[in-house]
Amino acid sequence: DFLPLKCDACEQIFCTDHVAYAQHDCTSAYKKDVQVPVCPLCNTPVPVRRGEMPDVVVGEHIDRDCKSDPAQRKRKIFTNKCLKPGCKQKEMMKVICDQCHKNYCLKHRHPLDHDCSGTGRPLSKAG
């Protein structure tokens, strides 16, 4: 079969034996040969931009957007974010300052550690 066939990536003309990207070492095959990875937990396709590593993008999807049960349970445990500027630590339970009544991580829970602005009384009378 010697019918001329046009490669849809590089637009050169080949016979049926050489029209495949691998057969003629197509330099434009990357434009057409796009694969979308699928999340192993929720089986949804995860879009990947050019130049990004699919493993990294799927990992970020599992950490943030995945709708599967193990990922959601993992995400919901640590929801109490530290209010100290620059700190991104999250705790399982709220750690409320007795003076300013704001939530902090274990490292910044003491008034001296988070530049406490509260001059109020403690929450409990026992302290």
The answer to whether position 125 is within a domain reads: no
Q: What is the pLDDT of residue 103?
A: 92
Structural domain harbouring 13: 1-32
DSSP-assigned beta bridge partners for residue 45: 38
Tell me the pLDDT tens digit for each residue of 93-112. 889 998 888 999 999 998 88
Q: Measured over all CA atoms, what is the biggest interatomic distance in the chain, rounded to whole angstroms? A: 93
Q: 49 and 26 in one domain? A: no
Is the model more confident about 35 or about 70? 35
Residue 107 pLDDT: 92
- Flag whether 127 is in a domain: no
Instruction: Note whether 26 and 38 are same-domain residues.
Output: no
* CATH number of the CATH domain containing 110: 4.10.1110.10
Dihedral angle, C-alpha 91, 95, 101, 104, nearest 10 °: -40
pLDDT at 61: 87
Q: Which helix (H) or strand (E) holds 71?
A: helix 69-77
One-letter amino acid of 24:
H
Q: Tell me, yes or no, if the pTM score tops 0.85.
A: no
In whole angstroms, give the CA distance from residue 70 to residue 67: 9
- Together in a domain, 18 and 42: no
Structure tokens, 125: 């009378």
Total structural domains in the chain? 3
Band (pLDDT 50/70/90 cuts) for residue 51 is: confident
The one-letter amino acid code at 14 reads F
In a domain, 3, yes or no: yes
Query: Does 122 score more than 60 pLDDT?
Result: no
CA distance 72 to 59: 14
In a domain, 5, yes or no: yes
